[in-house]
Amino acid sequence: RAKAAGKSRYEIFHPAMREAAQARVALENELRRAVMHQEFRVYYQPIIDISSGVLVGFEALVRWEHPTRGILPPAAFLDVAEEAGLNDAIGWQVLEQVCRQLAEWRRTLPQAMALSVSVNLSARQFMLPDLYVRIVQLLEQYRLPPSALKLELTESALMEYSRDAAAVLMRLREYGIQIAIDDFGVGYSSLSYLVQLPIDQIKIDRNFIVQLEQAQHSQAIVSAIVNLARSLNLEVVAEGLETTGQIERMRAVGCQYGQGYLIGYPLPADDATQVLINRTTFHPPA
């Protein structure tokens, strides 16, 4: 998709597009500077055990602390960064920040010892030849057990490299790093892949959660995904929980973990630290 977009950019270069193209070049240049000046910050969104409300981990979500435009979400820059070849650099800055933060939490807060942080990997990052070695190096440098880190990959990232994907995942998992399939259900949704791939967790995409209270078929789909996951011994996380009704329904179908704005927004590191210090319980068990 990125390739196609890049191509059409040069084939159809109408004057009307000049401005957009210029803005894009400016953004690329700014991104290059941002990588050099390390302007990317990791935000941490709580992931809880739905039945107890207890925090089990965070998802690491990158933000760009832009010097004049404020805090920018990934949608504002990740695609451009990918095309500019900057995603690897950003990805390593994210992983490094997460490892440093985890080490600090574990050094200062006993309640952080069981915590894991889930980091999103792009398809490109996933296939970097030194991915495994560098992740292991990072964990060793910060004296972290592999269980402290989870890696999130989308189905499409896995399908794109289906031949090598299983081998890469196998190595990471043998080392003890858990693997999650992100946005499950929106991509290829090949169930046979789910069975074949060495993974630990699936994250049900927010689109299904949003429709839970309106569309009957969404409930059926979600329930089927949870049952399938359980029979494969996979953890299930519901993404994008925004209402108590959604949480109740996910609990009812046996989904163990959840995250979403109702539970907690992605938080800057200091706020996430407060959550840990206060041992926040996120929603009262029924």
Scan for tokens 């933060």, then name that residue: 101
Residue 180 interacts with ligand C2E (CB under 6 A): yes or no: no
13 vs 261 by CB, closer to ligand C2E: 261
* Rounded-to-integer distance, Cα 20 and Cα 163, Å: 37
Instruction: Name the minimum Å distance from CB 247 to ligand C2E.
Output: 11
* Burial label, 239 (beta-carbon count in 10 A; 0-12, 13-18, 19+): buried
Which of Mg ion, ligand C2E, none lies near 258, with the C-beta cut-off 5 to 8 A by kind?
A: none
Cβ atoms within 10 Å of 212's Cβ, excluding its own: 22
Residue 152 interacts with Mg ion (CB under 5 A): yes or no: yes
In terms of phi and psi (left: phi > 0; alpha: psi -120 to 50; beta: otherwise), the region of 185 is left
120 vs 256 by CB, closer to Mg ion: 120
Site for ligand C2E in 252-271 (CB under 6 A): 259-261, 266
| 94 in Cβ contact with 60 (< 8 Å) | yes
109 vs 186 by CB, closer to ligand C2E: 186
Of 226, 168, 223, nearest to 201 by C-alpha is 226
**Contact pattern for Mg ion over residues 103 through 122, marking x by CB under 5 A:** -----------------x--
Q: Of these, 97, 101, 116, 120, which contacts ligand C2E (CB under 6 A)?
A: 120
Residue 88 interacts with ligand C2E (CB under 6 A): yes or no: no
Cβ atoms within 10 Å of 285's Cβ, excluding its own: 11
Residues that bind ligand C2E (CB under 6 A): 45, 61-62, 73-75, 78, 91, 94, 120-122, 152, 182-183, 206, 239-242, 259-261, 266
